[in-house]
Chains A and B, each alone.
Chain A
Amino acid sequence: MLAFQDLHIGFRKTKRKQEKALFSAENLTFNAGEFVAVIGPNGSGKTTLFNTVLGQQEPLSGIIKINNKSWTDFNRIDKAKHLSFVPSKFNGVDHLTVYDLVAMGRAPYTNMLNQLTNEDQLVVEQVLKQLGLSKFVNQDTINLSDGERQIAMIGKALAQESEIMILDEPTAFLDYNNRRKVLQLLKEIAVHNNQMIFISSHDLELCFEYCSRVVAIDTKSNKLLNFNAPFDRKTIIEKVFQ
């Protein structure tokens, strides 16, 4: 579904900055239903990889393909239909209810005035039920706990009905229970909705426990290494963090 071909990640040369290459990924393919975690030390380029996949910046070279079609051939709306994103922290907006937030995920499908059709409303309600958000629908996003708000944001991404969901450090601001809860939820979504879920994280142990696949950024060889479950934890940690 998502494929990297000879992909080189980094920052292009601008007026103020020199070109900075971070790492490369030769040939990697990710399939629907996979729950993938990117791990690597701070500054190794996890966020840059996500920004590149999300189309916020260009790769130094190489191709990103979705369903065998080059990423550059998609227009903005098509991208939003194939790819959804959850930032690591969302602070909430005054008077924005959980229902309205999840409904924003329908934006790529709605008309210019952002009116929800019956079909859109059905999708939103299904998402709210699946995530157990039904009792929060009328609550302000600003009044939720960090964990609830994170799940509400995942709801927004689910309502987008994209094949690929990218979450930038979804567990960074959560307590231990909520970390497990969110990762369990994502694991279920990957299997149940047959979506590909792509997260970055520093919670190695939790990633090894919940994810079906781990890609690690090796800062010594500047390569993206691929590991499938069951993981040999010790080898991975030694390779990447020492």
Chain B
Amino acid sequence: MNVVKRNYWSTSAILFALLMGLVLFDLTLGSFAIGFSDIFNGIFNYDSTSTAELTVRVFRFPRVMTAVLAGGALSIAGLLMQTLFQNPLAGPYVLGINSGSSLLVAISTMSSFYVFGSDLGIVAAAMIGAFGAGFFILFCSIYVKNKVSLLLIGIMFGSFAGALVSVIQAYADPNNLKTFMLWSFGSLQGVEFNQLGILSLVVAFGALLSVLLIKPLNLLQLGDKSASLLGINVKSIRFLIIVATAILAGVVTAFCGPIAFVGLVIPNMIKMIYKTTNHAHLLVGSLLGGALLIVVCDITMQLLLPYINLPLNALTALVGAPVVMWIIMKKF
């Protein structure tokens, strides 16, 4: 009996090497070119009198690290959702987690509730919104046993929140409207060097939680009933998966705005490349793939900057929507 054991780690190593190369390249891009020695010094051996090192530390390193963390976190969140709902078209966006964030950010920036005034206020509002939406879905999952219905509830929740945002926009002050629109375009520039710690810590926590869920995730692919008869507590696992998704998608939406399509596209691509159902490898692949996509998006934006200022959200949708159509045509 010859059981073919593919070496997934070598695929991951190639993706990792590619990511590292693109990250270094991305660090040199910006309003002016910066050499590799300045990049190294700016990160590890910072001297505030050098403009180049200052630029690297204050703008570029946070920007590129945010790209890596945001892409990785969103695509892990997408993978979790797709396995939970056993639907290749599920993602944090579909579940309404981003919409929850948008709604609270809209309220905090455009209405007369100035509870969250500052920049960090937006982060707090988005986090609260993401968890609110996550727990709403969780609450529904107690009563709604059917997973397709749960997905539809998520979509309806998203539309409802979107409509509320439109109402708020209609009555908003133009300056406040601008703040909200800029947030909703999605940006990698919003994270400062000292906030990187918080972002990476939260993302690491979410990723660790996902690693602990590898076995249940693998078994859930056989269906809820088979999984529970193999010793999995499906209810509590469902709870943990939604918590992990809310953490990962919530923190990224908070810092970077609602970024669409990454969570939907990358896990599907990774499944095609890796050709496995083992979530140990799919998680690593999604992390690397998501990071790669956002870094590539960032490189594209930086290269196009002299000619056109593309919002991140427009770019991911421009790349993502055709890929989703392709997946649908291929699979259904």
Residues of chain A touching chain B, judged by Cβ–Cβ distance below 8 Å, are 54, 56, 76-77, 79-80, 83-85, 87, 90, 93-96, 99-100, 104-105, 107-108, 110, 112-114, 125, 128-129, 134, 137-138, 160
The reply to whether the CB of B20 lies closer than 8 angstroms to some CB of chain A is no
The 9 closest A-B pairs by CB, nearest first: A80-B231, A114-B215, A77-B231, A107-B230, A96-B277, A108-B231, A85-B229, A138-B4, A134-B1
Q: How far is the CA of A77 from the CA of B228 in the complex (A)?
A: 9
Known: A87-B223, A95-B276. 11 other contacts (CB 8 A): A54-B229, A83-B229, A96-B221, A104-B230, A107-B219, A107-B231, A107-B232, A110-B215, A137-B1, A137-B2, A137-B3
Residues on the B chain within 8 Å of A129, using CB: 1
Residues of chain B touching chain A, judged by Cβ–Cβ distance below 8 Å, are 1-4, 212, 214-215, 218-219, 221-223, 225-226, 228-233, 271, 274-278, 280
Q: How far is the CA of A85 from the CA of B222 in the complex (A)?
A: 12
Assess whether A112 is in contact with B226, with CB atoms less than 8 Å apart: no
Assess whether A113 is in contact with B222, with CB atoms less than 8 Å apart: no
Assess whether A76 is in contact with B231, with CB atoms less than 8 Å apart: yes
Residues on the B chain within 8 Å of A110, using CB: 215
Q: Can you list 25 residue pairs at the A/B interface with Cβ under 8 Å?
A: A54-B229, A76-B232, A76-B233, A77-B231, A79-B231, A80-B230, A80-B231, A85-B229, A90-B226, A93-B221, A93-B277, A94-B271, A94-B277, A95-B276, A96-B221, A96-B277, A99-B3, A100-B278, A104-B222, A105-B230, A107-B231, A108-B231, A112-B212, A134-B1, A138-B2
Assess whether B230 is in contact with A108, with CB atoms less than 8 Å apart: yes
Q: Which residue of A lies closest to B280 (CB)?
A: A113
Residues on the B chain within 8 Å of A54, using CB: 229
Residues on the B chain within 8 Å of A93, using CB: 221-222, 277
Assess whether A56 is in contact with B4, with CB atoms less than 8 Å apart: no
Other-chain contact of B1, A56, A76, A113, A125 (Cβ < 8 Å): A125
Q: How far is the CA of A93 from the CA of B214 in the complex (A)?
A: 17
B194 to chain A, nearest CB (A): 35
Q: How far is the CA of A99 from the CA of B277 in the complex (A)?
A: 12
B239 to chain A, nearest CB (A): 16
Residues on the A chain within 8 Å of B218, using CB: 104, 114
Other-chain contact of B222, A90, A134, A137 (Cβ < 8 Å): A90
B75 to chain A, nearest CB (A): 18
Assess whether B219 is in contact with A104, with CB atoms less than 8 Å apart: yes
Q: Which of A80, A104, A112, A137 has the most CB of B within 10 A?
A: A104
Residues on the B chain within 8 Å of A79, using CB: 229, 231
Q: How far is the CA of A100 from the CA of B274 in the complex (A)?
A: 15
Residues on the A chain within 8 Å of B226, using CB: 85, 87, 90
Assess whether A56 is in contact with B225, with CB atoms less than 8 Å apart: yes
Assess whether A84 is in contact with B229, with CB atoms less than 8 Å apart: yes
Residues on the A chain within 8 Å of B222, using CB: 90, 93, 104
Residues on the B chain within 8 Å of A104, using CB: 218-219, 222, 230
Residues on the B chain within 8 Å of A87, using CB: 223, 225-226
B3 to chain A, nearest CB (A): 5
Q: How far is the CA of A29 from the CA of B223 in the complex (A)?
A: 31
Assess whether A95 is in contact with B275, with CB atoms less than 8 Å apart: yes
Residues on the B chain within 8 Å of A90, using CB: 222-223, 226
Assess whether B277 is in contact with A114, with CB atoms less than 8 Å apart: no
A164 to chain B, nearest CB (A): 12
Q: How far is the CA of A137 from the CA of B2 in the complex (A)?
A: 8
Q: How far is the CA of A113 from the CA of B2 in the complex (A)?
A: 24
Q: Which residue of B lies closest to A100 (CB)?
A: B277
Q: A112 and B215 in contact (CB under 8 A), knowing A85-B229, A95-B271?
A: yes
